[in-house]
Structure 1
């Protein structure tokens, strides 16, 4: 079973971090091995993945959704997949994001393609990629100030 429990600081408000996770259609932009996530209803998501030991399509249900604060989901079929995103505003207006992901791949049949192998380091790198995506989108636009000649 793969279990990742990671906390990182992001220089953007919790609403922006939440918005990025809540937009399930964009999760594949930062999570390795995820081809797509489609929200079938407000609570049910269809995941398409290319991850070793995980069915290429599985379903998950959203157990908790507290805007700008928390998302919690779990798989509802043969594989074990759970996710939790907790957001806390920091003193400087940024976000402390805690992510807990776990899954237990099923044994592969000999004729099945392996898919992407995931480990804790890969997932931690994915979360750093998410941090960069959010911070670059949140970065204030600055104008170059050219000194005026006297």
Structure 2
């Protein structure tokens, strides 16, 4: 399992940044290789991604979610991974977004990509595109303000 942690500061308030991140179905607009995400219910999503010329589909569960703070998830099937995105208010107009992913690369291509730091660069590029997406819009495309408590809390 490899861990990737990347951070970016965005020029928007923490509420707007967080609200946009909860709109999973917009991820294909700023995440490379994400073809489609369907929100099945408050805590379940279905992903369709392209990796190395292959299409993969998997389900993921949101394991923890708190407005303006964090969204955490784990895969239920497909590529084995889990992660958390946190939101830190810097001031009224700036937010620090940090993504931490634990990924178990599958197969030769993904293992080579991991060893060469390609996964780290891809996460940073996705965060950079998120920054552009939210800053150019100036507002979120929607919001989900519910709380999801960590299992066992």
| Structure 1 residues 53 and 64: alpha-carbon distance in aligned structure 2, compared to 1, 3 A threshold | farther
Q: Which has the larger radius of gyration?
A: 1
Alpha-carbon distance in 2 for matches of 1:53, 1:102: 22
The structural deviation recorded for 1:53 is: 9.6
Q: Which structure dedicates a bigger proportion of its chain to strand?
A: 2
Contact (CA 8 Å) 2:14, 2:88: kept in 1 or not?
yes
The structural deviation recorded for 1:119 is: 2.2
RMSD: 2.5
Instruction: For 1:1-12, list aligned pairs within 5 A.
Output: 1-12=1-12
Contact (CA 8 Å) 2:56, 2:78: kept in 1 or not?
no
Residue in 1 that maps onto 2:104: 104
Q: Kindly tell me the number of residue pairs found equivalent between the two proteins.
A: 133
| Structure 1 residues 24 and 131: alpha-carbon distance in aligned structure 2, compared to 1, 3 A threshold | same
TM-score (norm. length: structure 2): 0.76
Structure 2 runs not aligned, ≥5 long: 140-153
Structure 1 runs not aligned, ≥5 long: 109-113, 140-150
Residue in 2 that maps onto 1:70: 70
| Structure 1 residues 31 and 3: alpha-carbon distance in aligned structure 2, compared to 1, 3 A threshold | farther
Q: Highest relative contact order (Cα 8 Å, sep 6+), 1 or 2?
A: 2
TM-score (norm. length: structure 1): 0.78
Residue in 1 that maps onto 2:24: 24
The structural deviation recorded for 1:61 is: 0.3
Q: Which structure dedicates a bigger proportion of its chain to helix?
A: 2
Contact (CA 8 Å) 2:80, 2:103: kept in 1 or not?
yes
